[in-house]
Amino acid sequence: MSRTVLVGASAGGLATAEALRRAGHQGEITLVGDEPHLPYDRPPLSKQILKGEWKPDRLALRGRADIDALDLDLRLGVRATGLDMAARTLLLADGTWLPYESLVVATGIRARPLPGAEQVAGVHTLRTLTDALALKARLSAGRRLVIVGAGFLGAEVAAVARGLGVDVTLLEADAVPMAQAVGEEPGWFLSQLHRDHGVRLRTGAAVSEVLSVGGEVAGVALADGSEMPADDVLVAIGSLPNTEWLAGSGLALGDGLVCDEFSAAAPGVYGVGDVACWHNPLFGTKMRVEHRTNAGEQALTVAHNLLNPDAPRPFAPVPYFWSDQYDTRVQAYGYLRDHDEALVLESDVTARQFLVAYRRGDRLTGVLAMGKSPKILRAWRALIASGAAWEAAVTDTAAA
């Protein structure tokens, strides 16, 4: 019977397995993951786990019984290291060769390291449960945490750490945090929120060196000569897609595994989740989306296409993400990057509310909000999904 091999045992790989079984797929399914854990949820790592609100067992995406019911050939704690497309065989780190008929690449991303700082004790990245527990163990009132990179991950950790009484310095290389992703004004709005909560924010800050004493972190030196003392440093400067194991396989690799509008990378080979760079026909552009919701949605489409190669469905989602900052939630629908305009429709720092619409060409492509009812956002999402014209969308919705 046919064997489907899913590489990556996180949200995307698990959802693909579930979708295949729910569609009645009887064939063998092998799920390969490099971490030893059953599939777990990552967004709470920088939130509930770091705060100490949840114990790690709360992260399990499915209980053991649900996993068993999927009847998977589960290979955990072993990394995929190579792929022979001609022979349709996958090589694992333990020397096993796994033949497949269909292959799903869901190997995700890893944190981008800060060169030269990887071996210093007290320098952290945050991607896995192990990472989160290591950082959590070090955070307490009065400790000094320097966060390199004021993107959403760095900002979430800053908020949690402040809540724990940690002295937080947030370093950002750009002039305005998150401006590339969300625009200047929204970036300033979010910066102000952090300053109001006592975060020391340094923009235009180029890190030249992580300072250490006896292998333990002591601080961070900046290019302008200043130094920030630190008990811990979190490096949150983006991510790298885990595609090295596919080098030489013949698959196209760029910013991730390059896939077409059906999320296919080659006949019988598909990409799911953070690692996949696919053509989203709704926006007419290639994108790679590192949001939790995208992995689940892409898995559903890929499972369908895998079982119905003659009637594939394009993967054309409206991306969605959320981020918790202090006691409010930022939510966004659509494609915010590469926007031509970010129009601030509402902005009230005191009430912690804002609403921003994004335009690319003459079309509405995204919305970002804080402190707004999700029901209002659903109306915006519908407009984005329908490819609404910018003028009409902004005028009508602002008036509504």
CA distance between the termini of the chain: 56
Number of residues that bind another protein (CB under 8 A): 27
Looking at beta carbons only, is 191 or 263 nearer to another protein?
263
Q: Give the phi and the psi of residue 248 in degrees, each rounded to 5.
A: 80, 0
CA proximity to 103, closest of 259, 211, 233: 259
Which of residues 43, 122, 149, 187 is near another protein by CB under 8 A?
Answer: 43
Closest distance of CB 298 from another protein, Å: 10
CA distance 150 to 172: 5
Binding window for another protein (CB under 8 A); candidates: 60-68, 150-158, 305-313, 342-350: 60-68
> Does position 33 bind another protein by CB under 8 A?
no
Closest distance of CB 227 from another protein, Å: 38
> Does position 326 bind another protein by CB under 8 A?
no
Looking at beta carbons only, is 83 or 368 nearer to another protein?
368
Write the CB contacts of 278 (distance below 8 Å, at least 6 apart in sequence): 258, 259, 260, 261, 263, 271, 286, 287, 288, 298, 315
> Does position 299 bind another protein by CB under 8 A?
yes
Closest distance of CB 133 from another protein, Å: 20
Binding window for another protein (CB under 8 A); candidates: 27-35, 59-67, 106-114, 160-168: 59-67
CA proximity to 51, closest of 185, 160, 195, 134: 160
**Quick check: helix, strand or coil at residue 127?**
coil
Which of residues 49, 61, 160, 190 is near another protein by CB under 8 A?
Answer: 61
Strand-strand pairing, 256-259 and 207-213: unpaired
Binding window for another protein (CB under 8 A); candidates: 11-19, 240-248, 255-263, 271-279: 11-19
Q: Which two tokens stand for residue 50?
A: 């770091």
> Does position 331 bind another protein by CB under 8 A?
yes
Closest distance of CB 368 from another protein, Å: 15
- Binding string, 347-376, against another protein, x = CB under 8 A? --------------------------xxx-
CA proximity to 320, closest of 309, 330, 307, 306: 330
CA distance 24 to 8: 22
Closest distance of CB 400 from another protein, Å: 16
CA distance 179 to 330: 15
Looking at beta carbons only, is 12 or 177 nearer to another protein?
12
**Quick check: helix, strand or coil at residue 344?**
strand
**Quick check: helix, strand or coil at residue 337?**
coil
Write the CB contacts of 243 (distance below 8 Å, at least 6 apart in sequence): 105, 107, 253, 256, 257, 275
CB-based burial of residue 315 (10 Å sphere; 0-12 exposed, 13-18 middle, 19+ buried)?
buried
Which of residues 91, 101, 127, 320 is near another protein by CB under 8 A?
Answer: 320
Closest distance of CB 171 from another protein, Å: 28
Binding window for another protein (CB under 8 A); candidates: 182-190, 295-303, 307-315, 347-355: 295-303
Closest distance of CB 109 from another protein, Å: 16
Q: Which two tokens stand for residue 253?
A: 């690799």
> Does position 15 bind another protein by CB under 8 A?
yes
Whole-number CA gyration radius for the chain: 22
* Interface with another protein (CB under 8 A): 11, 15, 18-19, 22, 41, 43, 58, 60-62, 292-293, 296-297, 299-300, 320, 322, 329, 331, 373-375, 377-378, 381
